[in-house]
Amino acid sequence: MDILVCVKRVPTVGGAITLTADSRAIDTKASGFTISPHEECAVEEAVRLVERFGGSVTIVSLGPVEAQEQLRACLALGASAAVLVETAPGVETGPMATAAALYSVAASGAFDLILLGNEASDTGGYQVGIRLAHLLGRPVATGAKAIAVTDDGSSLSASRSYRGVTETFTLPLPCLVTVKEGINLPRYPSLPGRLRAKRAAIKRIPVAATGTAPAGDVRMTRLRVPDAPRKQATVLGHGAAAVPALVAVLAEIGVIS
């Protein structure tokens, strides 16, 4: 089974988000970079499937040259090959253009399964996987918290929970699935894995060479951090002594009568 996993380099966000002077990007001078938890799980799921069926896991990322760091991290987890579709530094690519660029890589190989995170943790566009599926003319399921592939590898079922019920979608392969954190518990990279990843060759394709035309995506003008309600918490007391005040607040809010 040959699997393609799409990942995105994003800043590691810790205590607070600060922006660059032009308010068009997150200030990353003091932060590291990672991929989203959903995507870590997509990589893990792909590696497990190849452990079961044989085959290969290829990782693709659209991003700046530094995104090789994230591709190597995925190789260390057991992926076999990595492709970087390289963008100019500081240029943000919208979801339509991203899907088109990923399509050029996805269509160049005979992938049985393409996995993505349900949404990128930074831009949260919720659409790249679906747009890629339509470009490829393949079925897609999103938000999967479990994937079960039949023994003959001909179809899979992807399930998730929605409004208290479990929804299960059955898809023939080849297909796309976007996954969410919780589908598995990703492994830590092994030492041999890290050494192999360090030496691995990463295929680099300039985004211009993918022949994707500029798409009519939503145009970001600026970013802003929402005003945090600078409210001062009312301290109800310490330990069990605070219980009478706590009960009074519960009644005031209306959760007890």
**CB distance 138 to 176 below 8 Å:** yes
Task: Give the Cα separation of 12 and 34 in Å (integer).
Answer: 6
Q: Which stretch binds another protein (CB under 8 A): 12-20, 48-56, 76-84, 147-155?
A: 12-20
Q: Under the criterion CB under 8 A, does residue 168 sit at the interface with another protein?
A: yes
* Smallest distance, another protein to C-beta of residue 29, A: 17
The interface with another protein within residues 49-88 (CB under 8 A) comprises: none
Cα separation, 132 vs 138, in Å, equals 9
Contact status: 107 vs another protein (CB under 8 A):
no
- Kindly indicate which of the ranges 35-43, 76-84, 106-114, 190-198 contains the residues binding another protein, using the contact rule CB under 8 A: 35-43
Q: How far is the CB of 130 from another protein (least distance, A)?
A: 4
Instruction: Using the rule CB under 8 A, give the single segment among 42-50, 65-73, 163-171, 191-199 that binds another protein.
Output: 163-171
Q: Phi-psi bin for 71: left (phi > 0), alpha (psi -120 to 50), beta?
A: alpha
Cα separations (Å) of 234 from 25, 98, 210, 227?
35, 46, 57, 20
**Contact status: 231 vs another protein (CB under 8 A):** yes
On the question of a cis peptide bond just before residue 174, with omega within 30 degrees of 0, the verdict is yes
70 touches 60 (CB < 8 A): no
Residue 124, both tokens: 């949260």
Residue closer to another protein (CB basis): 37 or 55: 37
**Rounded Cα gap, residues 58 and 74, in angstroms:** 9
3-state secondary structure of 202: coil
Q: Does residue 94 bind another protein (CB under 8 A)?
A: yes
205-224: contacts with another protein (CB under 8 A): 215-224
Q: Which of 63, 143, 174, 189 binds another protein (CB under 8 A)?
A: 143
Report the nearest approach of another protein to the CB of residue 133 (Å): 7
Q: How far is the CB of 41 from another protein (least distance, A)?
A: 9
Rule CB under 8 A: is residue 201 a binding residue for another protein?
no
Question: Does residue 164 touch another protein according to CB under 8 A?
Answer: yes
Question: What phi, psi does 173 have (nearest 5°)?
Answer: -85, 150
- Do 74 and 59 touch, CB atoms closer than 8 A? yes
Interface with another protein, residue 126, by CB under 8 A? yes
